[in-house]
Chains A and B, each alone.
Chain A
Amino acid sequence: MKLKEKFDELKNKNEKAFIAFYVGGDPNLDVSEKALEVICKHADIVEIGIPFSDPVADGLTIQKADVRALSRGMNPIKALELAKKLNEKFPNVPKVFLTYYNIIFKMGEENFVKKCKNVGISGIIVPDLPIEEAESLLSYCEKYGVDLIFLVAPTTPDERLKKILEKCRGFVYVVSRTGITGEREKLSEETEDLIRRVKKYSKVPVCVGFGISKKEHVEEITKFADGAIVGSAIVKIVEKHLDENGNIKDENKFLNDLEEFVRTLKEGTKAKKIKTQVKN
């Protein structure tokens, strides 16, 4: 499913998007497939991380997940197969890949984008690829109809913001605060201002990530934004269920915990709808 269709669908339902991130292959391929299936049941959009050895835009939680997956033999080819399987089971949940540029460069930009298209990936997020370096990847994304999603940060000045938003497709990923991924107790105050600033120029839906870890955060964020992205907090659940060998202790318990968490987070995007109904 195209990202645009999903956002239109949500708009009709008066809901905002809940976007969930999970590292493909964490802690192994089999478990990650089951976990992603659980996530697909509740999330509106799913971000699958293709692990990279040096994920500089991510915090320790996600780096550790990348290391777990890589040590069990995860690779981009397996990530593509994983996406394909998920797409067959959940065609109405758009899937996007999040990975670092070297993974794409190594496979060859066109080859990568073409493969993404073939397995039903709707969009690509590359945190270490600023617009200055994105020209050729953009052209392949356009050619194959895959959305290239850019990030914007609180440090991004207006002029630059406009340039990025001109190129951005699918949705724009707003980094809620300076820093790396990871949970925070309180959301930054600058976030609201930033969302307003981005909305002013954006033709695509505005989704916010970094530091969103509970339903209240999702509620707060989706008051202003079109979607909330949750990553580290989901990956933390994997961490909690690991034994000393890096395996999931009790798979059912893990999947139940995960399902409960993503279900609750999704509830956070419906809060507005309930309020409106009460008013009516």
Chain B
Amino acid sequence: MKKYKEKYPDKNGKFGIYGGKFVPETLMPAITELEEAFNRFWINNEGNFREEFYALLRDYVGRPTPLYYAERFSEELGCKVYLKREDLAHLGAHKINNALGQALLAKKMGKKRVIAETGAGQHGVATAAACAKLGLECIVYMGAKDVERQKLNVFRMELMGAKVIPVFGGSQTLKDAVNEALRDWTTNVRTTYYLLGSALGPHPYPMMVREFQRVIGKEIKEQILEKEGRLPDVIVACVGGGSNAIGAFYEFLDDDVELYAVEAGGKGVETGMHGASLCAGEVGVLHGSKIYVKEDEFGQIEESYSISAGLDYPGVGPELSFLKDEGRINAVYITDDEALEAFQLLCRLEGILPALESSHALAYAVKLADKLDKDDIMVINLSGRGDKDVHTVAKALGREI
């Protein structure tokens, strides 16, 4: 796949058949405006936007995050394992990269009101922080069920001045929060910036979020070359909507590196209770773009399920959908139980509490290690930290805390 980066997305915002702009007419001018602003500030670097963004990443987020050689985990797996420590980024997840990028763009565009949707709350917290930092009004939509599941993050958002609005429609999870955010945007389109949380939605969002998350892969490349003098053999990342995965993968698309996208297998793909859209979904249109979705025979979007709220979404962004079809990435899945096991394993061996999302990547790495030699290099994108998940994990393990 030569010169992938120059080809996609095309001028219509498509990755092959994926992507596009499937949104109500009311939003079309806003999307055009966003596209123009992104071109001006990011592509053409007007007002040194990029320098400002990278300065924020360095001084506010604490980048570069370490690429950590996990010695004991490596011994266990029988190959060289490096963890990209996005859990050490400000607020404990990769989400802050994108939130800051878009909030900065919103500010440059003169928008004063920012809306966002959140599932696990990580994106909501990151958006609330970015808005606080840049002096923007922040409203976060969150499924009522998730508000209940993620009380701590709701409180964190409120402390940072965001208004959290629970969504009672539909399944009361992330998908419905996105619907509600889109409705708000449609109503207040002239004054409001919609800060989307993953590499999803209508063009230019998937491209924009990927650009803001691309720093993860850039750093991996520099760091691994410095430490090992060569590229890794394998990169593993978990996939909900897909922002940490595309962020980690993008710099390697034209290289000879195997890429694994690990989805939420939930209670097992055969049970229907999962979030594995790439592995078990079909091509459909949801939330503004053509992607792999979990749907029924008539095209009704089905509810997803995962122990990890961040992977509980019934679709995967257009670029990863395309890369799957092209055979450039391997789409695989991990069940709740396997993720829980990997969660504990990393805690025990390395003293690191991974997010349940990231635990899916870790669990697949354990499986994959059987095929690797001891000198093979594997990078796992540790997308976030697991402090937010300890209650869920305790409950799943039958412990009271």
Contacts and interface: CB of A to CB of B under 8 A. Distances in A.
Interface of A: 52-57, 59-60, 63-64, 67, 70, 75-77, 100-107, 127-130, 132-133, 150-157, 160, 164, 175, 178-180
Contact of A130 (B22, B285, B302): B22
Interface in B8-32: 12, 20-30
A155 B190 contact: yes
B45 interface: no
Given A56-B179, A101-B285, A180-B187, A76 B26 contact: no
19 contacts: A53-B300, A56-B23, A56-B24, A56-B183, A57-B186, A67-B170, A70-B300, A101-B285, A102-B295, A105-B299, A127-B25, A133-B21, A155-B27, A155-B189, A156-B29, A178-B186, A178-B187, A178-B188, A180-B187
A144 to B, nearest CB: 20
Interface residues of B, number: 37
A99 to B, nearest CB: 9
A178 B182 CA distance: 12
B26 A132 contact: no
Given A56-B182, A102-B295, A153 B300 contact: no
Contact of A101 (B22, B29, B169, B293): B22
B20 A127 contact: no
A156 B25 contact: yes
B284 interface: yes
B26 A179 contact: yes
Contact of B286 (A54, A64, A155, A157): A54
A264 B157 CA distance: 49
Contact of B26 (A77, A103, A178): A178
A63 B170 contact: yes
A57 B29 contact: no
Contacts of A133: 20-22
Interface string B177-195: 0010011001111100000
Interface string B279-298: 00000111110100101011
Contacts of B170: 53-54, 63, 67
Nearest to B183: A180
Contacts, number: 121
A160 B187 contact: no
Contacts of A105: 284-285, 290, 299
B175 interface: yes
Contact of B25 (A60, A103, A104, A175): A175
A24 B333 CA distance: 38
Contacts of A57: 24, 26, 186
B284 A153 contact: no
B269 interface: no
Nearest to A154: B26
Nearest to A78: B298
B30 A155 contact: yes
A137 to B, nearest CB: 12
B323 interface: no
Nearest to B298: A75
B12 A63 contact: no
A275 to B, nearest CB: 33
B183 A132 contact: no
A128 B299 contact: no
Given A67-B170, A179-B26, A107 B179 contact: no
* Max chain A C-beta neighbours (<10 A), residue from B25, B179, B188: B25
Contact of B298 (A55, A56, A106): A106
Contact of A160 (B23, B29, B297): B29
Nearest to B22: A128
Nearest to A56: B182
B29 A155 contact: yes
